[in-house]
Amino acid sequence: MRRRGSHGVLMDCYPTVLTIIRIRVQNSGMIICVCKAVSDKHIRSAVKGGATSLRELSRDLGVGTCCGKCVPEAKAALSASLELRKEIAAPIFFGNSGAEFAA
């Protein structure tokens, strides 16, 4: 729907409202990039898929390609996701020698 704003300029009314609703409904995590509707959940998913740098997040998700205000938070989310991935991938050792498993 189009209507004239206060300055007589035609404006699209519904797309902005629908975008806001879509962000609230589809993303249960914290929104990192409002311009591209990217949440921390999307960033974690991208890291699981192999992303390891902000450049890869920008290419895959569009983070930081519009206004750029999300870049510091995107870097922090990327760092946290990489740390979590590193902790999950690290083997857990029992004891010092492992001799208890030797037969």
The model's confidence at residue 100, banded by pLDDT at 50, 70 and 90, is low
**pTM of the full predicted structure?**
0.60
- Give the residue with greater pLDDT, 27 vs 8: 8
Question: Domains in the chain, please, with CATH?
Answer: 2-89 (1.10.10.1100)
Report the C-alpha dihedral over residues 90, 93, 96, 100, rounded to 10 degrees: -150
Closest by alpha carbon to 37, among 65, 78, 13?
Answer: 65
45 has pLDDT over 60: yes
